[in-house]
Every structure is written in C-alpha cells, then in structure tokens.
Amino acid sequence: MHCDLIFGVTSKSKTSTYTINVYQGAMWLLNRATVMGEVDPNEFQYFIYRTTCKKCPLLFQVSGFSNGDPDIFISKGTDGYPTRESYDFSSALAGAGEQLHIDLDTVKAKLPGTENMEDFYIIGVTSKQATSFVLQAS
C-alpha cells in the first residue's frame, strides 16, 4: 500500500514555527456513531474525536463482547496517544460496560488553563484480556 501526504504551510512572518502531527492507525470517531473494534491483551486501539463546541459535555461509552473488560484512556489535544501511564481522562473501572463523562468543569480541574471543550480527543481502548468492543461518542 502506498500513501502520499502533502502539506502546504504559508506565513507572512519569516520567524514562524509550525507543529504538524500525523497519526497513523487511528480511526475517526464521529458523534453518535458506533464503531466496533478488538484489542489483544494490554494493546490499544486508537480513535480520534473532534468537538467544535466550546461548552458541550462529552460522553464516551465502551462495551465489551467477550471475557475482556475494556477501558478508555483519553488525551485532550494532539500531543500524543494516551497510555495507561499517561492520559488526561480514564474510565478504568470494574465491569464490562463503561462510560466516561467529560464536562467543562472536569477539563478545567484536570487541565488548568483550559477554557473550553473545543479540541481533538484521542481515545485509546485497551483491555487486560483480548476482547471485542463497541465504542460510541456523544
């Protein structure tokens, strides 16, 4: 398989600095869309969700279909993929069906200096056992 990436950057200033983040292997998660996935033990499957609403709360829900207990780990922004050790929000609770509610108060408390919800959210789904799952965002 062949993949071409073309970037165009322009600036009126000669001293501009740019950061370009490219994510490979992450699927877009659309509002109210349900996606199915599966993970091997302690591996992650990643999704990217974007909200343009400044005050809207977010709800992420994951349900497992097999013996595994899927957990959600989320990083706000495009600085990197979340892991069990490095994340902004997590649903790591007991049970095969979990949800993670994130509102503006939660974001401000967890990430001081953040003024709104608008951003990219990188969602990692993992499990200590191999599992199939369904993920939804709203």
Could you give all domains of the chain from N- to C-terminal order, each with its CATH number? Answer: 26-137 (2.60.120.380)
Does an H or E element contain 64, and which? strand 58-64
Residue 43 near residue 37 (C-beta atoms within 8 A):
no
Q: Chain centroid to CA 47: how far? A: 5
Percent of the chain surpassing pLDDT 70: 85
Residue 1 CB burial class (10 angstroms; 0-12, 13-18, ≥19): exposed
- The per-residue pLDDT for range 43-94, each reduced to its tens digit, is 999 999 999 999 999 999 999 887 778 999 999 998 889 999 999 999 876 5
In this prediction, residue 115 has a pLDDT band, given cuts at 50, 70 and 90, of very high
0.75 exceeded by pTM = yes
As a whole number of angstroms, the distance between CA 96 and CA 44 comes to: 16
In this prediction, residue 1 has a pLDDT band, given cuts at 50, 70 and 90, of very low
**Strand pairing report for 34-39 and 131-137:** antiparallel
Strand-pair partners of 73: 90, 124
Structure tokens at 77: 């922004």
Terminus-to-terminus CA distance in the chain, angstroms?
33
